[in-house]
Amino acid sequence: MTILLLSDIHANIEALEAVLQQATGHDTVWFLGDIVGYGPDPQACVDRLRDLQPEHWLAGNHDWAAVGRMDVAEFNPEARRAAHWTRRSLDAPARDWLWGREPLAAAGEPPALLVHGSPRHPIWEYVLDASVAMDSFAHFEQRIAFFGHTHVPTLYEERVDGALRHPVEEGTPVDLASGRWLVNPGSVGQPRDGDPRASYAVYDPVALSVTFHRVPYPVAATQDKIVKAGLPGRLAQRLSFGW
Ligand code: ZN
């Protein structure tokens, strides 16, 4: 039994296809939100993910912003432009579908928590440091929570003296059999840890382990589409650097 953990696809179909080509044979998909926003292929990504019939499909802040369920006033100008463009690029069933997603779910056996942002504020809080991670551990009951939103593959373990951030190593299973954990698989479509390759993880709820993976994709193809769509050029450039 293995579960493909995906987050922050951000309308990047090339990155999503590269992940799906490498990550085969898993029993199901848990998606942690932000299928759209920033990228040039929102409709194709919604359709492709729907084909996979994920067991869980969370909303992210960009998903809600694109369909008008959340105000885009808090977004930076680039994200706001992309949100308006995304809304026009989605068909009505896709907009309805995204409107109906929630940013939090209880999942699996043993029970795990899935959130887009953080357990405390599932839609918008970023778990970017040990102090927010420690606060986060107080806001869920399960042993393991999976989150997205930061676009950084991350692993925190709860310790009595604080949240310990473990280094993320590609391809090596991390033992989650004891302790409490916060796990972020990183971003498929817009990594922000300085590595431009698409990021994802595989969770094994029987062995109780998680394994992080990276896969290259044709970045230039996505960048061309972003420019041709008239989206802000910086959204294309940042993909080269994974930032
Ligand atoms: Zn995101």
Q: Can you give the residue ranges of every domain in the chain?
A: 3-240
Q: What is the distance in A from the centroid of ligand 1 to the CA of 10?
A: 7
3-state class (DSSP) for residue 102: coil
Percent of the chain with pLDDT over 70: 100
Cis bond leading into 110, ω under 30°?
yes
The predicted-structure confidence for 95-154, as pLDDT tens digits, reads as follows: 999 999 999 999 989 999 999 999 999 999 999 999 999 999 999 999 999 999 999 999
CA dihedral over 5, 112, 33, 235, signed as positive or negative: negative
Q: Are 8 and 151 in contact (CB under 8 A)?
A: yes
Residue 165 tokens, joined: 């951030």
Q: What is the distance in A from the centroid of ligand 1 to the CA of 221?
A: 20
For domain 3-240, the CATH superfamily is Metallo-dependent phosphatases (3.60.21.10)
End-to-end Cα, the chain, rounded Å: 33
Q: pLDDT band at 240, cuts 50/70/90?
A: very high
Q: What is the DSSP letter of 193?
A: S
Q: What is the distance in A from the centroid of ligand 1 to the CA of 60?
A: 7
Q: What is the distance in A from the centroid of ligand 1 to the CA of 34?
A: 5
Q: What is the distance in A from the centroid of ligand 1 to the CA of 193?
A: 13
Residue 74, pLDDT > 90, answer no
Of the candidate ranges 11-20, 68-77, 175-184, 218-227, the one whose mean pLDDT is the lowest: 68-77
Dist. CA 73–CA 94, nearest whole Å: 23
